[in-house]
Amino acid sequence: MKFENNLAFAQQLDKADRLNTYRSKFFFPQHNGKDVVYFTGNSLGLQPKTTQSYIQQELNDWSAFGVEGHFLAKYPWLSYHEFLTEKMAKIVGALPEETVMMNQLTVNLHLLMVSFYRPTQQRYKILCEAKAFPSDQYALQSQVKFHGHDIADALIEVSPREGEYHIREEDILSAIEKNKDSLALIMIGGVNYFTGQVFDMKTITEAGHKAGAIVGFDLAHGAGNIKLELHNWNVDFAAWCSYKYLNSGPGSVAGAFVHQKHLSNTNLPLFAGWWGHDKKTRFLMDSTFVPMPTAERWQLSNAPVFSMAACRASLDIFDEVGMDALFEKSRHLTAYMEFIVAEINKEKNNCLQIITPAQNRGCQISIVANGYGKALYNKLIENGVIPDWREPNVIRCAAVPLYNSFEDIYRFGEILKSLL
Ligand SMILES: *Cc1c(COP(=O)(O)O)cnc(C)c1O
């Protein structure tokens, strides 16, 4: 499609967009009486207008039933997490039995590594991407140390080449090959939080398995953003949060995936809690742990119902829309954003550089504004655009297909241009 850089054209695209009505199902922060241009759904997704009633339902049932709400609530708390499973599984391309909503992201990464990072004298290395999200780096480092290995020796970080922003897939594959005798685990952010680069998880998983390693992904920036087929790709485990693209509210409950092939292995070591015990006999309160036959085995505690209620409100929307429709709009929005940036560059001396690879991206575009520092980001905020800033010099913009519009992108372009 041939794009145009004007308001009427952007509005015409919005009219033709069959997801356009979903925008009105979300609350937008206001700036001078108008919706802000919200490009930070990759950090904290907007609040669906339905969320309050989902949480209110649980408050009502708590006041009406007290402890009996575990059974009598409209959505009984005892099994509340089960209401999320199927819809979540669809979003990440997993079987319901492979999927569970529990805890928070970094907690889940640790719990899964307890089971899947089992280093030996020979095989103890972990391969990850350089400059992974700090929490992931700390998690990996502490796991390595916990097992008595040396971080400098055991952690292999694959970096972009000199002068490049994203990591070449061939460099990941050759690092796997090179370390194939000592590699225990590959743990990569499936979508890099900084550049927005999407990794070829299928190929990396295959290569990892061929090398004899376990392969897991952090999908904080993947879940709800890109097409995922965790089951078919044969990924061993994964974890993600629900407050970014999944719009479940600050610090909301996270997700975890364990591939079906591991579920029959009841000898897998794990850190256990009562919610991972077989639900049929959980309340016999016996001292012997009998594992759930599903990913629910990794649960420790009973369900945090309020954050799960927020998550349920959001997943109901995803389920109604369907991921394929979202991906289609997402591609269209990012293509328009790319076009608008190119238009600005024509007038502004090519000062904007998109560092997100065009062939491997979700809805996030990371932009380096050469010659401009954080002041540019501050001015965007002052002018009603909310992107985010990542040191040392990147402005991240996520045009989220559920609630962002082509007009948002046009307005962003006009404001950005006026500040350069
Ligand atoms: C957002 C994000 C986190 C945050 O971890 P929490 O445990 O949810 O605080 C971790 N890893 C990555 C890759 C992220 O993008």
**106/144 same-domain check:** yes
**380/245 same-domain check:** no
**327/263 same-domain check:** no
- Strand 364-369 and strand 352-354: the pairing is antiparallel
Instruction: Kindly give the distance from the C-alpha atom of residue 193 to the centroid of ligand 1, in angstroms, as a whole number.
Output: 9
pLDDT of residue 4: 97
* CATH classification of the domain holding 79: 3.40.640.10
Q: What is the DSSP secondary structure assignment for residue 81, as one 8-state letter?
A: T
Identify the helix (H) or strand (E) that includes residue 305: helix 305-321
Closest CA to 299 of 279, 276, 277: 276
**pLDDT per residue over 175-187, tens digit each?**
999 999 999 999 9
Q: What is the DSSP secondary structure assignment for residue 46, as one 8-state letter?
A: P
**22/161 same-domain check:** no
Does 289 have pLDDT greater than 90? yes
**pLDDT per residue over 293-324, tens digit each?**
999 999 999 999 999 999 999 999 999 999 99
Instruction: Kindly give the distance from the C-alpha atom of residue 190 to the centroid of ligand 1, in angstroms, as a whole number.
Output: 12
**142/78 same-domain check:** yes
**314/197 same-domain check:** yes
Residue whose entry in the numeric block shows the structure tokens 């907007």: 46
2 within a domain of the structure (yes/no): no
pLDDT of residue 284: 87
42 within a domain of the structure (yes/no): no
**337/307 same-domain check:** no
207 within a domain of the structure (yes/no): yes
How many residues are given for the chain?
420
Identify the helix (H) or strand (E) that includes residue 15: helix 7-16
Instruction: Kindly give the distance from the C-alpha atom of residue 133 to the centroid of ligand 1, in angstroms, as a whole number.
Output: 7
Using the 3D structure, point to which of 278, 295, 321 is the last residue of a domain: 321
391 within a domain of the structure (yes/no): yes
pLDDT of residue 1: 82
Atom 10 in ligand 1: residue holding the nearest Cα: 135
401 within a domain of the structure (yes/no): yes
Instruction: Kindly give the distance from the C-alpha atom of residue 241 to the centroid of ligand 1, in angstroms, as a whole number.
Output: 7
pLDDT of residue 402: 98
**276/334 same-domain check:** no
**101/120 same-domain check:** yes
* CATH classification of the domain holding 374: 3.90.1150.10
List phi, psi (to 5°) of 75. Answer: -115, 90
pLDDT of residue 136: 97
48 within a domain of the structure (yes/no): no
Does 393 have pLDDT greater than 90? no
What is the span of the domain harbouring residue 360?
7-35+322-419
Phi-psi region of 33 (alpha: psi -120 to 50; beta: other; left: phi over 0): left
**136/251 same-domain check:** yes
Mean per-residue pLDDT for 81-101? 98
Mean pLDDT rounded to a whole number for the chain: 97
Integer Cα distance of 83 and 315 in angstroms: 10
Instruction: Kindly give the distance from the C-alpha atom of residue 66 to the centroid of ligand 1, in angstroms, as a whole number.
Output: 34
Ligand 1: atom nearest CA of 136 is: 11
Mean per-residue pLDDT for 63-86? 98
**215/347 same-domain check:** no
pLDDT of residue 400: 98
Instruction: Kindly give the distance from the C-alpha atom of residue 134 to the centroid of ligand 1, in angstroms, as a whole number.
Output: 8
Ligand 1: atom nearest CA of 193 is: 15
Using the 3D structure, point to which of 321, 339, 364 is the last residue of a domain: 321
- Strand 183-189 and strand 125-129: the pairing is parallel
224 within a domain of the structure (yes/no): yes
Integer Cα distance of 99 and 130 in angstroms: 28
Instruction: Kindly give the distance from the C-alpha atom of residue 158 to the centroid of ligand 1, in angstroms, as a whole number.
Output: 20
**pLDDT per residue over 221-266, tens digit each?**
999 999 999 999 999 999 999 999 999 999 999 999 999 999 999 8
**280/339 same-domain check:** no
Q: Which of 56-65, 172-181, 276-285, 402-411 has the lowest mean pLDDT?
A: 276-285
The percentage of residues in the chain with a pLDDT greater than 70, rounded to a whole number, is 100
Atom 8 in ligand 1: residue holding the nearest Cα: 105
> How many separate domains does the chain show?
2
Which residue from 133, 246, 388 has its CB within 8 A of the most atoms of ligand 1, so it is best to mutate? 133
On whether the CB atoms of residues 225 and 235 are closer than 8 A, the answer is no
Does 391 have pLDDT greater than 90? no
**pLDDT per residue over 185-204, tens digit each?**
999 999 999 999 999 999 99
Atom 13 in ligand 1: residue holding the nearest Cα: 133
Residues at CB less than 6 angstroms from ligand 1: 104-106, 133, 135-136, 189, 193, 218, 220-221, 241
Mean per-residue pLDDT for 329-344? 97
76 within a domain of the structure (yes/no): yes
More confident residue, 12 or 266: 12
Instruction: Kindly give the distance from the C-alpha atom of residue 55 to the centroid of ligand 1, in angstroms, as a whole number.
Output: 24
Using the 3D structure, point to which of 305, 321, 337 is the last residue of a domain: 321
**pLDDT per residue over 95-131, tens digit each?**
999 999 999 999 999 999 999 999 999 999 999 999 8
Ligand 1: atom nearest CA of 243 is: 8
Mean per-residue pLDDT for 82-87? 98
